[in-house]
Chain A
Amino acid sequence: MAELVISKLDKIYRPSRKAPVHAVQALDLTVKSGEIVALLGSSGCGKTSTLRMIAGFEDVSAGSITIAGKPVHDLAPSARGVAMAFEAYSLYPPLTIGENMAFALKAAKLGSAETDAKVKAMAEMLEISAILNKYPVSVSGGQQQRASLGRALVRKADLYLLDEPMGQLEPQLRAILRGRIKHYLREHQCTTILVTHDQTEANALADRIAVKEGGLLQQYATPAELKARPANLFTGTFVGEPPMNVFDADVKADGKQVSFTIGGGNVLSYPASEFPAGLRGILARHPKLAIGIRPHALHLGDGPLKGRVTACQWLGDQTHVAVDVGGRTAVSVAHDRVTASAGSEMALSVAASDLHLFDPATGKAIAHGGEPA
């Protein structure tokens, strides 16, 4: 365990006869000792380039990377004290799953009894005890992925890098392994960076999430903060499933009330007292806004928004109801079973404290729950 500090990190790829690609731009990121951080973004956002620079598989174009205060960006990968689980598993084909997991421990001259005990415990945690004597080619993709993850976690390292570590896991195992891995990382105070495109994974495992898009860091915050106070429309709609509902609104704010007209004659009105004076001033300068509403904050059955149900889908532990409100689909999530037939009328409400307001031109957040962003 050790702190990782990334400072003004840049990565520019210069393919021949093509325009250069600025994959990572002036990235500043600190991962505290023992912290689990997710780099979250879709493909091309620069997350894997960042991870590979930390591991030492890519040169940095500019900037620095330090682990426990020591600059490592010019060191060979093996000298950085980093353990990595690869998206493509990269298990050694001639070694069994057990030998793969023990490889680095043996290289570190750990005694065979201790090595065996560690590998055994890790295999139990990841449910691969039964395949320790098999070779990588003879096990499933999900099992190879668990073996690759085990090979990284079983080592003692300053920093753990996990590249899409759970993408291929069997759906029935995913939730329990998330819990076990999170518990393990905490128990062993592993400083960890997890790269993923899956916001569900990032939210489940990480203490903080760095949301990346277009080579830029969009927001770096805890999962709870990302949900409650997204910095911009991109993070707001990228994090959360079902995604945040977004409406374009015409805003009116005076001393008595604040109202948002969102099309189809639907108006959300609140007493001005729900918005502090300072925010009302800001709203007065923004006659047009984008309003974000999380699906769980959109309440069914009563309220000023009127529409027709287009879908009502019960998934066992929750119901997703889609309602056409003024030509836009609004999605509400209920934790119990809701029955509403397609085509029926539905009223919806949302509390002022659940509104996210964004500048429609820049996407920047203006307010969350009645407080300026």
Chain B
Amino acid sequence: MNQLALKSLSKSYGAFKVFDGLDLSADAGEIVVIFGGSGTGKTILLRLIAGVEEPTSGLIELDGMDVADVAPEHRNVGMAFQNFALFPHMSAMENIATPLQARGKAAAAVQAGVAKVAKLLKIDHVLGHAPRELSNGQKQRTALARALAAEPRILLLDDPLRNVDAKLRFEMRLELPRLLRQTGATVLYVTQDYKEAMALADRIAVLAGGKFVQVATPEDIYMRPATLSVARLFGDPAINTAETKVEANGSAVHVTLGGVKVAISSTHGGLAGRAVTFAVRPEAVMIQTGKATGLAATVMAVTPFNERTVLLLQSEGGWEFLASLPSSSPDIPEPGTTVMASFDPPGTHLFDLNTGVRLHG
């Protein structure tokens, strides 16, 4: 049975529709990431599930039961926020204890519960500190500990790594999945960082324009994005695009990139005549120098990008695109070099020019 189900869930403030008709279900212990830009309603969705706001219409079911009439404190839900929201006048320990005390646990049980999560999150040594004495990382761990303390069935995490620095965010990204699995809770995790979403999620629900545009595994989202907007949200550098038309000449199929015809897989023959957005992931752009075939392009700039190197390329016809190579690749071309670019089919997609929907065949 689903631990959590949203059925046609809608929320409006007056005439302003935040989202409309959301459907989502999560199995017990599943980590579902709600991914979307700012202002898409991700936080409001969590607040509806927590019970601190009411939906305009639709159902929220926890353990198969409609919880419309269940008060927040009886929903068995834990929540952590991006700004930590710790009580400033309480120590870390007192903060973590609040959900246990709210549930009327005896002092010994409260103490045992706090000790357990504090150990899990490696903050046992700062339990006596006030929030202002904690580093950002410790604050964030304290906020997580508080959310976990009462062993909720559902854990709602609202962009918990947003306000910590890059190094800590990276460490926590590696550590969180195991930690969350250990709790056994069903997790809804809100983020705007696609790497966090890919790293943590069993499934990702992409929220845009008040709808879930795609709900799928990280692999499906990245390799088979439902729409151009989903394709653009996942990946850094973002996917390259060009508006063009599919044309076929016998069994040869091509698109036109900056005025130059470029062959694509003949499996796209069925789309001949269709106006499309051609899209290729930067890591699927393959670069060769010398006597190679492909799209001739000039290297405009070489920008190292962590373990990879990004090339800004401009084709003969003026199409600008990026290629991303491992920094350890031999022969990374210098600016000004002419290279031949070709496109690896698994990272190449066609989307309908008007609707943005991914085209098959």
Contacts and interface: CB of A to CB of B under 8 A. Distances in A.
A204 B195 contact: no
B322 A176 contact: yes
Interface stretch (A62-70, A84-92, A178-186): A178-186
Given A313-B198, A320-B174, A175 B310 contact: yes
B174 A311 contact: yes
A296 B301 contact: no
17 contacts: A178-B301, A178-B303, A179-B300, A179-B303, A179-B311, A179-B312, A183-B335, A186-B301, A242-B170, A295-B307, A310-B178, A311-B177, A313-B199, A314-B219, A315-B195, A316-B234, A317-B283
B327 interface: yes
A315 B233 CA distance: 13
A318 B310 contact: no
Given A175-B237, A180-B312, A186-B335, A316 B222 contact: yes
A190 interface: no
A176 B322 CA distance: 7
A219 interface: no
A84 to B, nearest CB: 23
A333 interface: yes
B174 A322 contact: yes
Nearest to B325: A335
B283 A175 contact: no
Contacts of B310: 175, 178-179, 204
Contacts, number: 118
A329 B198 CA distance: 21
B11 interface: no
B198 A179 contact: no
B236 A175 contact: yes
A178 to B, nearest CB: 5
B73 interface: no
A112 interface: no
Contacts of A205: 303
Nearest to A181: B301
Interface string A18-31: 00000000000000
Interface in B213-249: 218-219, 222, 232-238
B161 to A, nearest CB: 14
Nearest to B233: A172
B300 A318 contact: no
A329 B335 contact: no
Interface string A101-137: 0000000000000000000000000000000000000
B324 interface: yes
A175 B304 CA distance: 10
B306 interface: yes
A331 B175 CA distance: 12
A77 interface: no
Given A183-B300, A311-B174, A320-B199, 17 more contacts: A171-B238, A172-B233, A175-B236, A175-B282, A176-B238, A179-B300, A179-B301, A204-B303, A204-B304, A204-B305, A241-B166, A296-B327, A310-B178, A311-B175, A313-B173, A316-B281, A333-B307
A198 interface: yes
Q: Which of A175, A200, A320 has the most CB of B within 10 A?
A: A175
Given A242-B170, A310-B178, A317-B308, A175 B303 contact: yes
A296 B328 contact: yes
